[in-house]
Amino acid sequence: MKTFLPNLDELTLRQQVAQMVVVRASGFLFDHEIQYPVWEPPAATLQHWVQDLGVGGVILLGASAGEIALRTQQLQTWASVPLLICADVEEGVGQRFSGATWFPPPMAIAEVAKRDLTLACHYAEQMGRITAQESLAIGLNWLLSPTVDVNNNSDNPVINVRAFGETPEIVGELAKAFIRGAHQHPILTTAKHFPGHGDTAIDSHLELPVIPHSRDRLEQIELPPFKAAISAGVDVVMSAHLQIPALDPNYPATLSPKVLTNELRQNLGFEGLIVTDALVMGAIANRYGTEEACVLAVEAGADILLMPLEPEKAITAVCEAVESGRISHDRIQSSVERLWRAKQKACAITIPSEEGHAWENPPEPILETIELISNIAQPDALSINAELLRHSMRSYHPNPSRLDSLSGVGRNLVIVDSILDCDFLGRTAPAIALPAQFGFTETQIIDRHTPHIDPSNRVQSPTVLQLFIRGNPFRGIAGLTQAAEDWFAFLLNTNQLYAIAVYGSPYVLDRFIPSLLPDVPYVFSYGQMQAAQAIALEALFRSNLE
């Protein structure tokens, strides 16, 4: 693996433009395991993009942390210029790659901040530190976090609990703490989604949201967290696929010089890298297509084109725009110069010398990988994660509690958006196994694929209702599904609801609380992973455990 950067004048125009492109790839090593074939190329195509086209980076999704460690080695071996390799690890590496630490979403830390901002900043800093450490251990050198959007719209399907809170003050402080923690390691951080994606009820993965706010409102709410992140030294800012007429009535932020160059570069003084949000998202792809979107993004001021659907066409389109005079060559060089500075920080760059190159006698790759991944899910990381889950949890324990009156067999009703995507559920998952220890042995799992059942035909049984509901990008879902609403109403009206556990969105719990009877206990956790299930259900059944 080469770990040096050539001089810019050694690269052709096409090679320079290719460095501005980051492609999507599966974390799995084998083609038959690819989960999103529209976006994730087979190995031969991916190798062509990296080795022959010379793309500048890769974004990964899927597989275990151990497999990612091998995948990133493979990618860097193919590359002639060190790659930036990133992932959406807003909730820790374990969110995307099994085996690593999976934190609850950032809004859990905002919950702590309501009571103790100092403690919340401690958690945010530790989350940043651990996420950076575990990312580097498996070969990731660029975090697509923190999210610094202010989620002040409870119907937001795309940000929601991904945000560090609902006020610019808390979001700014927690974002700075996360960056401070991550920068204890040589890794890139990303503030997203500029100029602020928190106040929309439309999912930009599907269509283009329009934000009607005035500049004064943007200055008060949306922009301060970005200013805070920039002051903390954030390396990258990601654009938002949304249109804000007060800033630019013609183009969405990702394609707008008024937003990316005038606002971000000039007014906010940001000197780092600007990356687009994924260009396969419907808000951009459906309106502009690959080629024109990429040209417009570069014209607007973007340095990195993230996930164009057809990378070769994207590179060709930008090169042709330069050759025609539509984009200046200096504009391309300025982006690549920023990329070079970022890669010097994040890619363990060495400078060639008369004594030779550092990569001529590399450590044994397998032994090095084993040593590095030993940094994954260490006891201190798991302990901090458990503390955060407990401190951000909400619960209600009435006395008397309906749980105390269970006689016979009860039902454990679990409702998820899609069981096909629930890695956190399984035979041994606490959400399945723990209620059975207290008599709720009849397990039933419902999702949006389950046929509708007439309430009159539903079996009457004392029920613990567990809901796994949060914002779902690409599905436009922010809160309750119809199945969840129907079952909740049915259980309530037939007096079968004995307890309720909600995992994910606090807005869902807030919808339910006014309707709950006084003797019905509840618990809420921002996390959905098995650690969160165990902590939440132990709290729910606390009196039964004593």
Q: Do the bridges between strand 190-194 and strand 84-87 make them parallel or antiparallel, or are there none, so unpaired?
A: unpaired
* Token pair of 52 as six digits: 């022959």
Angle subtended by helix axes 65-78 and 117-137, to nearest 10: 60
For the chain, give every domain's residue range.
87-379, 393-545
Dihedral angle of Cα 418, 421, 423, 425, to the nearest 10 degrees: 10
Please report the pLDDT score of residue 234 as a whole number: 98
329 upstream amide cis, omega within 30 of 0: no
CA dihedral over 207, 213, 218, 220, signed as positive or negative: negative
- How far are the Cα atoms of 348, 361, 470, 504 from residue 531, in angstroms, in the given order? 34, 42, 17, 13
Nearest of 44, 46, 57 to residue 18 by alpha carbon: 57
The DSSP H or E segment spanning 206 is none
Residues recognised as catalytic: 205, 277
252 upstream amide cis, omega within 30 of 0: no
Phi/psi at 341 (5° precision): -65, -40
- The separation between the first and the last C-alpha atoms of the chain, rounded to the nearest angstrom, is 57
Contact indicator for 186, 134 with CB cutoff of 8 Å? no
> Residue 193: helix, strand or coil by DSSP?
strand
Nearest of 60, 47, 50 to residue 18 by alpha carbon: 50
Tell me the C-alpha distance between 53 and 21, whole Å.
10
> Residue 355: helix, strand or coil by DSSP?
coil
Angle subtended by helix axes 117-137 and 168-182, to nearest 10: 40
Amino acid identity, position 432 = I
Please report the pLDDT score of residue 129 as a whole number: 97
pLDDT per residue as tens digits for the range 496-546: 999 999 999 898 888 889 999 999 999 999 999 999 999 999 999 986 655
Nearest of 421, 426, 391 to residue 527 by alpha carbon: 391
What length is written for the chain? 546
pLDDT per residue as tens digits for the range 175-195: 999 999 999 999 999 999 999
The correct CATH number of 87-379 out of 3.90.1200.10, 3.40.718.10, 3.20.20.300, 1.20.1300.10 is: 3.20.20.300
Nearest of 179, 181, 104, 186 to residue 140 by alpha carbon: 186
Please report the pLDDT score of residue 543 as a whole number: 61
Beta-carbon contacts of 204 under 8 Å, excluding residues fewer than 6 positions away, are 158, 197, 240, 241, 242, 277, 281, 282, 283
Nearest of 76, 67, 69 to residue 137 by alpha carbon: 69
Residues of the chain predicted below pLDDT 70? 1-3, 157, 201-207, 349-373, 452-459, 471-480, 543-546
Domain 393-545 belongs to what architecture? Answer: 3-Layer(aba) Sandwich (3.40)
Please report the pLDDT score of residue 453 as a whole number: 62
